[in-house]
């Protein structure tokens, strides 16, 4: 069992999905369960669910958003370094 995060776009889609979850609605819907974690997030093509509390959902959102932002920042830094290298090569030759 695995979630495919092979591209940043897939991870961004997961981030958007997490941001769209209304944890309060899930908690009300599952209020009669004896579990503390009442927000159920299904894994695609399996019967497995990630079960979270409001605090867990908030933390997962922060973790995924931080990773996506850091990835994009590193990607931009890499592009800038390549541009600077190209400019430097052009000026030296």
Question: In the chain, how many H helices and how many E strands?
Answer: 3, 2
Q: What is the mean pLDDT of residues 23-49?
A: 87
pLDDT band at 92 (very low <50, low <70, confident <90, very high): low
Domain limits, the chain: 8-92
Q: What is the mean pLDDT of residues 5-26?
A: 91
Q: What is the mean pLDDT of residues 11-38?
A: 91
Helical pair 8-20 and 54-92, crossing angle rounded to 10 deg = 150
pLDDT at residue 1 tops 50 = no
Span 47-67, pLDDT tens digits: 888 999 999 999 999 999 999
The share of the chain scoring above pLDDT 90, in percent, equals 44
């Amino acid at each position: 069992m695995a979630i495919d995060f092979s591209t940043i776009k897939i991870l961004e889609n997961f981030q958007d999905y997490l941001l769209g979850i209304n944890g309060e609605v899930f908690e009300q819907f599952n209020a009669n369960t004896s579990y503390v974690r009442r927000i159920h997030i299904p894994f695609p093509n399996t019967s497995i669910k990630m079960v979270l509390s409001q605090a867990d959902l908030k933390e997962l959102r922060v973790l995924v958003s931080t990773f996506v932002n850091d990835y994009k920042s590193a990607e931009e830094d890499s592009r800038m370094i390549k541009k600077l290298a190209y400019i430097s090569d052009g000026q030296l030759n």
